[in-house]
Amino acid sequence: MVPPAATASAPVQPIGTPEAPAIKDPAKDTILTPRFYTTDFDAMAAMDLRPNEAELEAICEEFRKDYNRHHFVRNEEFEGAADKLDPETRKVFVEFLEQSCTSEFSGFLLYKELSRRIKEKNPLLAECFAHMARDEARHAGFLNKSMSDFGLQLDLGFLTANKAYTYFKPAYIFYATYLSEKIGYWRYIAIYRHLEKNPDSKIFPIFNFFENWCQDENRHGDFFDALMKAVPSTVTGFTAKLWCRFFLLAVFATMYVRDVARKEFYEALGLDAREYDKYVIEKTNETSARVFPVVLDVENPKFWVRLERLVNNNQALSEADASSAPAPIKALRKLPYWGANALEMAKLFLMAPIASNRYQPAVR
Ligand SMILES: [Fe+2]
Ligand SMILES: [Fe+2]
């Protein structure tokens, strides 16, 4: 379900300087903001990787090479870059940095904790997670440093201790993280390629780093692809098909509603949020067919009509939220839109999926 927006405006807070950035209050948690996850560490430790051990070992060897060891180094282009943004662009760009930093950091926490907790019993898996935690820490740190160019910083220690953690059993962690890595790859590379063709729209030098950066995300996604193939029960059978559909839909719908709600950020880059998301969703869906048994029928026009209805309902929910009415009246006004969202999501979920082998052999 896709309820109230991430756009609910937060109270104005003081802004520091790049030298002494103010700690930013964390954004209010909604279903559209990045989550922190925890899982069953014993089940992860006990996982038998033999069915796909050679591929996992090869991926771990890639991680060891640490291709981006020297990539995330700030250069002189960052000096004064923040001052060139107009106030409106500045606001949406800082929101983008904050959301990206939080989701990179969420990956770091999960991978770090996994590597620590399964080290003794499952050293290969633990090592892969440790390398991925290294990458995500770099990504989060780089984004947080860019936030400090705008006089703000996220207190990652505070977030670690205070944000709610969602428990997912290992199979759900695989679906959710696989999709977030692959969608992250397509999001970053799409922006990078667009700005390569339209250098005037490059509003901040961080985008120059996206090409190598997204290769990290691509490798992380490949790791989860190999991991699911090592545990075939996660991607075969009736139940797995249902969960793959569910996670694909949840990830796509959340991204679409969130991105359209903050389309000003994409406009600042010279992109249309809807077209951009359509491209990212189509590409991620096609990529997912390499490992998921089914994917969504994103070529069906009804898929997009229904996503637009979610956008409209979400807009109405935000308006109800922003009104000065007492809480019970607000809830009453929101009720029909919550119901409408649930109905649209159910209809989307029930749309006939596409068997992934339809993409073979080109993709699989
Ligand atoms: Fe990352
Ligand atoms: Fe990643």
CA of 136 to the centre of ligand 1 (A): 4
Dist. CA 133–CA 136, nearest whole Å: 5
Q: Residues 192-236: pLDDT tens digits?
A: 999 999 999 999 999 999 999 999 999 999 999 999 999 999 999
Q: Give residue 100 CA to ligand 1 midpoint distance, Å.
A: 9
Q: What 3-state DSSP class applies to 354? A: strand
Q: How far is the CA of 181 from the centre of ligand 2 (A)?
A: 5
> pLDDT > 70: what percent of the chain?
93
The Å distance, Cα 101 to ligand 2 centre, comes to 12
- The pLDDT of residue 9: 40
- Residue closest to 139 by CA, chosen among 165, 90, 106: 106
**Residue 292 falls in which region: left (phi positive, over 0), alpha (psi -120 to 50) or beta:** beta
Indicate whether 1 pLDDT > 90: no
Q: How many Å lie between the centroid of ligand 1 and the Cα of residue 352?
A: 32
For the chain, give the mean pLDDT.
92
Using the mean position of ligand 1's atoms as its centre, give its distance from the Cα of residue 216 in Å.
Answer: 7
Burial class of residue 179, CB neighbours in 10 A (0-12, 13-18, 19+): buried
Alpha-carbon torsion (163, 167, 168, 174), positive or negative = positive
pLDDT at 29 over 80: no
Residue 21: phi and psi, rounded to 5, are -65, 145
Q: Is pLDDT above 50 for 8?
A: no
87: Cα separation from own chain's centroid: 26
Quick check: 194 and 270 in contact, CB under 8 A? yes
- SS3 call for 23: strand
Local structure of residue 52 (DSSP, 8 states): G
- How many angstroms is it from 128 CA to the middle of ligand 2? 12
| Three-point CA angle 36, 39, 42, nearest 5° | 150
Rounded CA separation 154/231 (Å): 37
pLDDT for the residue 13: 59
Enclosing H/E stretch for 37? strand 36-38
Closest ligand, as measured to the CA of 110: 2
Q: Are 248 and 179 in contact (CB under 8 A)?
A: yes
Ligand minimally distant from the alpha carbon of residue 179: 2
Compute CA distances 14 → 11, 36, 197, whole Å.
10, 27, 37
Rounded Cα distance, 288 and 282, in Å: 10
